[in-house]
Amino acid sequence: MLVTVQQHILQQQEDQFPAARGNFSSLLSGMTLATKMIQAKIRRAGLADILGSAGVTNVQGETQQKLDVYANQAVLHCLGARESVAFLVSEENEQPVTIDRSEGGKYIVVFDPLDGSSNIDVNVSVGTIFSILRRPDGAHGVAAVLQPGWKQVAAGYVVYGSSTIFVYTAGKGVYGFTLEPEIGAFVLSFADMKMPAQGNTYSVNEANADSFPESYRTYLGRLRSRGYGSRYIGSLVADFHRTLLKGGVFLYPPTKKNPHGKLRLLYEANPLAFIAEQAGGQAISGDARIMDIEPKAIHERTPLIIGSRSEVAEFHQIDTRDATGRI
Ligand code: P6P
């Protein structure tokens, strides 16, 4: 029986948010619509003069690819039209975008509209990542957004790969939906996803290994000595999706260039951490659970170690002993 993501979201809403007046499902449907628009452009990259940069740089100082701009506009447009949204926070925008100044807006959506976009020109999978928070009563602007990950109401990503897959959690398990191009709908393909308790691969950019802290080098050496393989696509959503399905561990450690890690807490680490934990995995920054971190800024970075419970726990043990100097 075909179950679309819309049907599934409505059911989750009835189970989870009975008081919601359809706002929650309307908001998630806005996100699925935006990702369908994005994937349609990605599938035609190269045909419609989409490749290459838009000639501008974003708030991160990164050259914006044309598809970055399109993806950001698609999400802002689709979610901005939903009555339940108070603020939108994008990797591409320095400040939150206020949608509803009244007290009507119940939700905040934090998102990376097109993560890994530099890979588009070489046809490597890219993704959209989002996190949904409740707006604290009476809170406005950045103060309303700076919430720890355990307060997320829902989180998800879309991986634009050999197929387009929408994965989300609303706190009651992780579900995956594959876009069926013939009907233009995301159809349930992975019910109640569970990350294997242990895997056999690690995923890290080893070009930075010389600047990794000692505990990371010790840990990776142990995994290699046990025969672990290395897989690194350089696109967070693709590397995480593989880890979710096959187990193992993804790491973005502190490096010389990014001493606090490269990945963003609010719209990369937190949503993926929510999904990982709901699927039985773990996500830490080294010394802290990712979802316990109290954000200080909306574009804040964090180290990220995320994956199967066994591998993340082993890293934490080494890192903790390293910190106490008893390694
Ligand atoms: P590096 C892509 O630019 C990205 O933000 C993530 O998708 C990816 O995991 C990471 O950066 C790759 O970074 O330094 O290994 O190229």
Which residue has its alpha carbon closest to ligand 1 atom 14? Answer: 205
CA distances from 68 to 32, 85, 112, 316 (A): 17, 22, 9, 35
Q: Which atom of ligand 1 lies at the shortest distance from residue 116's CA?
A: 2
Reference 271, options 141, 91, 123, 140; nearest CA is: 91
Please tell me if the CB atom of residue 118 comes closer than 6 angstroms to any atom of ligand 1.
yes
Summarize pLDDT for 82-106 with one digit per residue, the tens: 888 999 999 999 999 988 766 678 8
> How far is residue 117's CA from residue 185's CA, in Å, rounded to a whole number?
24
Summarize pLDDT for 53-90 with one digit per residue, the tens: 777 777 777 777 788 899 999 999 999 888 889 999 99
Please tell me if the CB atom of residue 116 comes closer than 6 angstroms to any atom of ligand 1.
yes
Please tell me if the CB atom of residue 262 comes closer than 6 angstroms to any atom of ligand 1.
yes
pLDDT reported for residue 327: 40
56 pairs with which residues across the strands? 64
CA distances from 224 to 39, 100, 216, 236, 308 (A): 37, 51, 12, 22, 16
Summarize pLDDT for 119-175 with one digit per residue, the tens: 888 889 999 999 999 999 888 889 999 999 999 999 999 999 999 999 999 999 999
Q: Which atom of ligand 1 lies at the shortest distance from residue 118's CA?
A: 3
Please tell me if the CB atom of residue 258 comes closer than 6 angstroms to any atom of ligand 1.
no
Which residue has its alpha carbon closest to ligand 1 atom 3? Answer: 116
Which residue has its alpha carbon closest to ligand 1 atom 9? Answer: 236
Separation of 250 CA from ligand 1 center, angstroms?
12
Please tell me if the CB atom of residue 72 comes closer than 6 angstroms to any atom of ligand 1.
no
Q: Which domains does the chain have, with CATH numbers?
A: 5-190 (3.30.540.10), 201-316 (3.40.190.80)
Strand 282-284 relative to strand 107-115, pairing = unpaired
Contact 273/284 with Cβ under 8 angstroms?
no
Separation of 88 CA from ligand 1 center, angstroms?
23
Contact 108/89 with Cβ under 8 angstroms?
yes
Separation of 119 CA from ligand 1 center, angstroms?
10
pLDDT reported for residue 46: 72
Separation of 34 CA from ligand 1 center, angstroms?
23
Q: % helix / strand / coil in the chain, to the nearest 5? A: 40, 25, 40
Separation of 118 CA from ligand 1 center, angstroms?
9
Summarize pLDDT for 215-266 with one digit per residue, the tens: 999 999 999 999 999 999 999 999 999 999 999 999 999 999 999 999 999 9
pLDDT reported for residue 88: 95
Please tell me if the CB atom of residue 125 comes closer than 6 angstroms to any atom of ligand 1.
no
* pLDDT band with cut points at 50, 70 and 90 for residue 326: very low
Summarize pLDDT for 172-227 with one digit per residue, the tens: 999 999 999 999 999 999 999 999 999 999 999 999 999 999 999 999 999 999 99
Separation of 234 CA from ligand 1 center, angstroms?
5
What is residue 253's three-state secondary structure?
coil
Please tell me if the CB atom of residue 310 comes closer than 6 angstroms to any atom of ligand 1.
no
Listed in sequence order, the residues at least 6 apart from 69 whose beta carbon sits closer than 8 Å to its beta carbon are 54, 56, 92
Please tell me if the CB atom of residue 73 comes closer than 6 angstroms to any atom of ligand 1.
no
What is residue 308's three-state secondary structure?
coil
Separation of 287 CA from ligand 1 center, angstroms?
22
Mean pLDDT of the chain: 91
Please tell me if the CB atom of residue 115 comes closer than 6 angstroms to any atom of ligand 1.
yes
Q: Model pTM greater than 0.85? A: yes
* pLDDT band with cut points at 50, 70 and 90 for residue 1: confident
Which residue has its alpha carbon closest to ligand 1 atom 2? Answer: 116
Please tell me if the CB atom of residue 205 comes closer than 6 angstroms to any atom of ligand 1.
yes
Which residue has its alpha carbon closest to ligand 1 atom 1? Answer: 234
Reference 252, options 234, 270, 271, 266; nearest CA is: 234
